[in-house]
Structure 1
Amino acid sequence: MIMPADLEDMIRRRYRSLFLLFFMLCSLSSQVISAVSARATLRASSSTNSSVVDSDLAALVAMKAALIDYKGILQSWNTSRGSACGGGWVGVKCEAGRIIAIHLPSKGLGGQLAAEIGQLSYLRQLSVHTNAITGAIPVSISSLRNLRGLYLFHNLLTGSIPASLSPVLQALDLSNNHLSGAIPTSLSTSALLRRINLSYNNLSSTIPSTFSSLARLQALLLSHNQLVGAVPDFSQLANLQTLDLSQNLLKGSFPALQQSSAGASQTGAIVHSSATSSSKELFPSLFTLNLSHNALTGKLPSQIGELSSLLQLDLSNNKFSGAIPPQLANITELSSLDISHNNFTGSLPSSLSSLGNLTHFNCSFNSLTGKVPKLRHTFLASAFVGNKGLCGFSPASLCALPPAPSPETGAANSSGEAAAASTGEKKKKLSALSIVFVVIGIVIVLFLLMCLCSLLFICCCRRSGESMAKAGFTGEKPGQAGGGKGEGAKREGDAPGGKLVHFEGSLGFLADDLLCATAEVVGKSTYGTVYKATLEDGNQVAVKRLREGIVKSQRDFEVEVTAVGAIRHPNLLALRSYYWGPKDEKLLIFDFMQGGSLAAFVHARGPETPLTWQMRMNIAIGAAKGLVYLHEEQKMIHGNLTSSNILIDAHQNAKLSDFGLSRLMTQAANSNVIATAGALGYRAPELTKLRKATTKSDVYSFGIVLLELLTGKAPGEGPSSGPTEGTTMDLPDWVASIVKQEWTQEVFDIELMKGRAPGDEELINTLQLAMNCVTLAPLERPEMSEVLQQLEQIKPDLKQ
Structure 2
Amino acid sequence: MAALQTAALLLLLLLAVASEAAEPPQQERTALQEFLLGTPHERSLGWNSPLAPSACLWFGVTCDAANATVVAVRLPGVGLVGDFPAGTLGKLTSLHTLSLRSNRLFGAVPGDIFSLPNLHSLYLQNNRLSGSIPPELAGLTALRHLALYDNELSGEIPAALDGLAQLRSVRLDGNRLSGSIPSLSGLRRLEVFNVSENQLDGAIPTFLARFPPESFAGNPGLCGEPLNSPCPVSSGKKKGLSGAAIAAIAVGAAAAALLALVLLVLCFCRRRRDAAATGDNSGNKAMSTPTQERGFTPSPVSGEMTDLADLTSSKDLVPSAGETTTRRLVFVGGAGAGGYSFDLEDLLRASAEVLGKGGAGTTYRAVLEDGATVVVKRLKDVVAARREFASALEALGRVEHRNLLPVRAYYFSKDEKLLVADYLPAGSLAAALHGSRGSGQTPMDWDARARAALCAARGMAHLHAAHGLVHGDVKSSNLLLRHGGDPDNAAALSDYSLQHLFAPLPPSARAGGYHAPELVDRRRPTFSSDVYSLGVLFLEMLTGKCPASGTAGVDGGGAALDLPRWVQSVVREEWTAEVFDQELVRLGGGAEEEMVALLQVAMACAGTSPDARPEATEVLKRVEEIGGGRHGRATAEEEGSWGTPTGASP
User: Do the structures match in fold with TM over 0.5?
Assistant: yes
Counterpart position of 1:258? 159
Question: 5 Å matches for 1:240-639?
Answer: 240-241=144-145, 243-244=147-148, 246=150, 253-254=154-155, 256-259=157-160, 279=162, 285-286=168-169, 288-289=171-172, 300-303=178-181, 309-311=192-194, 313=196, 325=201, 327=203, 333-335=212-214, 348-349=220-221, 355=227, 452=275, 455=278, 458-459=281-282, 462=285, 474-476=295-297, 488=311, 490-491=313-314, 494-497=317-320, 498-503=327-332, 504-547=337-380, 549-580=381-412, 584-605=415-436, 606-639=439-472
User: 1:217: how far off?
Assistant: 2.5
User: 1:186: how far off?
Assistant: 5.0
Residue type of the partner of 2:429?
L
Cα distance change of structure 1 residues 354 and 701 upon mapping to structure 2, 3 Å threshold = same
Deviations along 1:631-675, one digit per CA (max 9) or x if unpaired, are 222222111111111011223811110013246x15xx3x43998
Counterpart position of 2:576? 744
Alignment partners' CA distance in 2, 1:222 and 1:163: 25
Cα distance change of structure 1 residues 460 and 750 upon mapping to structure 2, 3 Å threshold = farther
Alignment partners' CA distance in 2, 1:612 and 1:469: 50
Cα distance change of structure 1 residues 114 and 789 upon mapping to structure 2, 3 Å threshold = same
Alignment partners' CA distance in 1, 2:447 and 2:374: 29
Counterpart position of 1:118? 19
Deviations along 1:86-107, one digit per CA (max 9) or x if unpaired, are xxx99x9xxxxxx9xx9xxxxx
Residue type of the partner of 2:89?
T
Equivalent residues of 1:258, 1:282 under 8 A apart: no
Question: Which 5+ residue runs of structure 2 have no aligned equivalent?
Answer: 25-42, 185-189, 230-267, 321-326, 550-557, 635-650
Deviations along 1:569-618, one digit per CA (max 9) or x if unpaired, are 2211122232346x642221222222211112111223441311111111
Cα distance change of structure 1 residues 732 and 164 upon mapping to structure 2, 3 Å threshold = closer
Residue type of the partner of 2:516?
A
Cα distance change of structure 1 residues 591 and 134 upon mapping to structure 2, 3 Å threshold = closer
Cα distance change of structure 1 residues 532 and 695 upon mapping to structure 2, 3 Å threshold = same
Equivalent residues of 1:465, 1:518 under 8 A apart: no
Equivalent residues of 2:109, 2:129 under 8 A apart: yes
Question: Which 5+ residue runs of structure 1 have no aligned equivalent?
Answer: 1-71, 80-88, 93-98, 103-111, 124-131, 154-159, 261-278, 316-322, 340-346, 357-372, 374-444, 718-725
Secondary structure at 2:355 match in 1 = strand
Alignment partners' CA distance in 2, 1:166 and 1:648: 41
Counterpart position of 2:505? 672
Residue type of the partner of 1:586?
K
Equivalent residues of 1:113, 1:133 under 8 A apart: no
Cα distance change of structure 1 residues 528 and 790 upon mapping to structure 2, 3 Å threshold = same
Alignment partners' CA distance in 2, 1:139 and 1:203: 32
Equivalent residues of 1:541, 1:590 under 8 A apart: yes
Counterpart position of 1:42? none
Candidates 675, 680, 683, aligned match of 2:515: 683
Alignment partners' CA distance in 1, 2:100 and 2:277: 62
Secondary structure at 1:524 match in 2 = strand
Secondary structure at 2:329 match in 1 = strand
User: 1:215: how far off?
Assistant: 5.8
Alignment partners' CA distance in 2, 1:732 and 1:776: 9
Equivalent residues of 1:469, 1:487 under 8 A apart: no
Equivalent residues of 1:501, 1:579 under 8 A apart: yes
Cα distance change of structure 1 residues 170 and 571 upon mapping to structure 2, 3 Å threshold = farther
Secondary structure at 1:541 match in 2 = strand
Matched, 1:189 2:93: yes
Equivalent residues of 1:234, 1:256 under 8 A apart: no
Deviations along 1:724-743, one digit per CA (max 9) or x if unpaired, are xx985421112222222221
Secondary structure at 1:259 match in 2 = helix
Residue type of the partner of 1:325?
D
Secondary structure at 1:753 match in 2 = helix
Alignment partners' CA distance in 2, 1:234 and 1:578: 49
Candidates 610, 619, 625, aligned match of 1:787: 619
Equivalent residues of 1:194, 1:218 under 8 A apart: yes
User: 1:793: how far off?
Assistant: 1.8
Residue type of the partner of 2:571?
V
Alignment partners' CA distance in 2, 1:675 and 1:168: 60
User: 1:624: how far off?
Assistant: 1.4
Candidates 536, 545, 569, aligned match of 1:704: 536
Cα distance change of structure 1 residues 489 and 253 upon mapping to structure 2, 3 Å threshold = closer
Secondary structure at 2:159 match in 1 = coil
User: 1:305: how far off?
Assistant: 8.9
User: 1:229: how far off?
Assistant: 6.9
Equivalenced residue count is 532
Deviations along 1:404-439, one digit per CA (max 9) or x if unpaired, are xxxxxxxxxxxxxxxxxxxxxxxxxxxxxxxxxxxx
Equivalent residues of 2:76, 2:99 under 8 A apart: no
Cα distance change of structure 1 residues 597 and 772 upon mapping to structure 2, 3 Å threshold = same
Counterpart position of 1:424? none
User: 1:500: how far off?
Assistant: 1.9
Alignment partners' CA distance in 1, 2:272 and 2:316: 20
Counterpart position of 2:483? 650
Q: Percent identity?
A: 29
Q: Which has the larger radius of gyration?
A: 1
Counterpart position of 1:765? 597
Residue type of the partner of 1:301?
G
Alignment partners' CA distance in 2, 1:509 and 1:554: 22
- Whose relative contact order is higher, 1 or 2, with alpha carbons under 8 Å and at least 6 apart? 2
Deviations along 1:32-78, one digit per CA (max 9) or x if unpaired, are xxxxxxxxxxxxxxxxxxxxxxxxxxxxxxxxxxxxxxxx6x94465
Residue type of the partner of 2:454?
I
User: 1:499: how far off?
Assistant: 0.5
Question: 5 Å matches for 1:29-44?
Answer: none
Secondary structure at 2:525 match in 1 = coil
Equivalent residues of 1:182, 1:203 under 8 A apart: no
Counterpart position of 2:47? 136
Residue type of the partner of 1:658?
D
Alignment partners' CA distance in 1, 2:129 and 2:66: 21
User: 1:287: how far off?
Assistant: 5.6
Q: TM-score, normalised by structure 1?
A: 0.55
Alignment partners' CA distance in 2, 1:451 and 1:768: 68
Deviations along 1:527-555, one digit per CA (max 9) or x if unpaired, are 211112233454432110011x4142223
Equivalent residues of 2:201, 2:222 under 8 A apart: no
User: 1:757: how far off?
Assistant: 1.6
Residue type of the partner of 1:597?
S
Equivalent residues of 1:602, 1:712 under 8 A apart: yes
Cα distance change of structure 1 residues 763 and 734 upon mapping to structure 2, 3 Å threshold = same
